[in-house]
Structure formats: structure tokens, C-alpha cells
Amino acid sequence: MFYRNIDEGKVISQEEISSGIFSLLVENKGAAFASPGQFVGVYPNSKDTLLMRPISICETKDGATRLVYRVAGKGTKEFSSLQKGDKVKLIANLGNGFPIDEVKGKCIVLMGGGIGIPPMLGVAKALKGEDVHAYLGFRNNDTFLADEFMQYCKLYLASEDGSVGVKGNVLDALRASTGIKPDVIMACGPMPMLRAIKKYAEENDIIAYISLEERMACGVGACLGCVCKTVKKDDHSHVNNTRICTEGPVFDAREVDI
Ligand SMILES: Cc1cc2nc3c(=O)[nH]c(=O)nc-3n(C[C@H](O)[C@H](O)[C@H](O)COP(=O)(O)OP(=O)(O)OC[C@H]3O[C@@H](n4cnc5c(N)ncnc54)[C@H](O)[C@@H]3O)c2cc1C
Ligand code: FES
């Protein structure tokens, strides 16, 4: 259900689940209405970090939103010091999310790379009981969330240095696993990974939905800071552009020029 509001959230818990990766659980009104693949904007308190920081919804439970994020700069560093009971301001829920109902009954491959892994956990959870195979790509054996995916689907790992799973990326891991012929791929991760998935899906006639985590300012469609090129022209403005924060972040890979 559509919900967009400024929520006064309350921190339920926070823990560091891997080096520099934090799992933050925040009680907020929007949690009850969130869909997998949507994101929230988290506002830092510090006056020199004015803009909200977009973070994907990893999952929701019992009226709370779970965010899993990497400390990248000032904003996320501030979030990592939040403790149980602290207040946190969020804009929730943003973006469109993955088309969960449309893919049911198909062979579904989920792909997550690095900090693109968290939203795919919520997708796996929503598709529990379906034919779902999750491929997660890490830099090395400093993994996170992998054990949680195993509760919902089959799991395959890849790492750049070969220390866990297949040496290489998520597509190398898919190619290495025999007998899996995806009808649909759903993915989130760095742009080179998403470009490779788009190409692979087009060559193999697979539908792919990709979530683009570009830099954002407003998060609500007003600043045009997040536009991305599209294959078709927009009916209203007649340009090949779309806003990732409102029309995305999830797109049919055939529709975006990345
Ligand atoms: C829709 C969406 C969902 C996201 N989901 C997650 C998530 O679930 N977990 C998570 O850890 N991060 C996620 N991100 C990225 C996250 O928003 C940034 O890491 C965060 O805003 C950085 O803020 P900061 O103040 O800590 O760092 P800043 O000081 O603003 O930046 C620190 C460094 O991070 C880089 N950076 C900032 N934003 C991005 C971005 N969007 N993509 C790539 N690099 C960036 C900057 O170029 C700079 O090098 C998401 C981004 C988007 C747009
Ligand atoms: S971030 Fe402002 S329009 Fe998308």
C-alpha cells in the first residue's frame, strides 16, 4: 500500500554484522506498508550533512524497518553511533520496489553484490516457497547476511579473491551452477555488475529487474539529481530520461540505458 511520510523512528537495535557493515532496526509507521526493493531516506542530525541518505529496506518485521548499510562517509558514520531508544528521522517509503507477484511460479534468480545485497533479502523472504536461487557476490570472505538467505532460498556465493564460493562475480557463479535456467533475474549491486546482468539477460532472453542505487538528493522526484537514460522517450517531457528515486529504483533492464 502507498505510504510516504516523514516518520519519527525509534531505534530498536543496532549491531555491526561485518567489518564496517551495520544492521539497524528502527520502529516506524511506514514499516507496515513497505514493499521489497523500496528504500527510505535517513536524515543525519549533523548540520553539515543536510540531505537524507537513501538506504534500501532490507526487511520489515513487527512494525520496524531493518536497514543494513556500509559506513561510507559522514552520514553513515553518524548512523553507526545510533543506539537503542534513540530517535531517527526517516522519509518512508520511497521508490517502487520489485514486482513480487509477477514473478511467482517462475525460476527466479536473485543477485546481490556488496551493499546491494540487503534489499535482496527482503525479496527472498517475500518469495519464500518459490523456486528461488540467490547469488551473492563479496570482495572476500568477510561476508554478511548469507546465513539469513538460506532460510528462504538456495544460496550460491562468489568472491573476487576466491576465498568463498566461486572466484569471480555473481554471473560466474550462475554459469558454474548446472541445471539452473532462470526465467527472471532480480538484482541490486554496483553498476558494472548491473550492466553485465543486463547484457547476459538480453543475450539469453531472460527478463531482468535491476535496482539502481545512484546518488540522490531529494528522493521525491523534485531535484532531477538522479536521472538515468531510458530507451523510450518520456510521454510528458519527450526526453529519454527517468528519475531513479520515483520511477525506480527498480527497472526492467531492457528499459534503461546504463
Ligand atoms: C536507492 C538507494 C539505496 C541504497 N541502499 C543502500 C543500502 O542498503 N546500504 C548501503 O550501505 N548503502 C546504500 N545506498 C548508498 C548510500 O545511500 C550511500 O552510501 C550514503 O548516502 C553515503 O552517505 P555518507 O554521508 O555516509 O557518505 P558521503 O560522504 O555522502 O559519501 C561517501 C562516499 O560514498 C559515495 N557515495 C555516496 N552515495 C553513493 C551511492 N548512492 N552510490 C555509490 N556511492 C555513493 C560518495 O561518492 C563518496 O565517495 C543506497 C543508495 C541509493 C540511491
Ligand atoms: S533525487 Fe531528486 S529527483 Fe531523484
The Cβ of residue 183 has, within 10 Å, a number of other Cβ atoms equal to 14
142-149 contacts, C-beta under 8 A, 24 or more apart: 142/18, 142/19, 143/18, 144/17, 144/18, 144/21, 144/68, 144/117, 145/17, 145/58, 145/68, 145/117, 145/118, 145/121, 148/121, 149/120, 149/121, 149/124
pLDDT of residue 92: 97
pLDDT of residue 234: 72
pLDDT tens digit string along 150-177?
999 999 999 999 999 999 999 999 999 9
Q: Is residue 231 in contact with ligand 2, taking CB distance under 6 Å?
A: no
68 C-alpha vs ligand 2 centroid, how far in Å? 22
H or E stretch at 41: strand 39-42
Average pLDDT over residues 187-205: 97
Q: Which domains does the chain have, with CATH numbers?
A: 5-94 (2.40.30.10), 100-211 (3.40.50.80)
Q: Is residue 192 in contact with ligand 2, taking CB distance under 6 Å?
A: no
For the full predicted model, state whether its pTM sits above 0.85.
yes
Taking 90 as the threshold, does the pLDDT of residue 233 lie above it?
no
pLDDT of residue 139: 96
pLDDT of residue 162: 97
Taking 90 as the threshold, does the pLDDT of residue 206 lie above it?
yes
pLDDT tens digit string along 37-58?
999 999 999 888 889 999 999 9
pLDDT of residue 49: 83
Please choose from 76, 91, 123 the residue to mutate so as to test ligand 1's pocket, defined by most ligand atoms within 8 A of CB.
76
pLDDT of residue 46: 87
Taking 80 as the threshold, does the pLDDT of residue 237 lie above it?
no
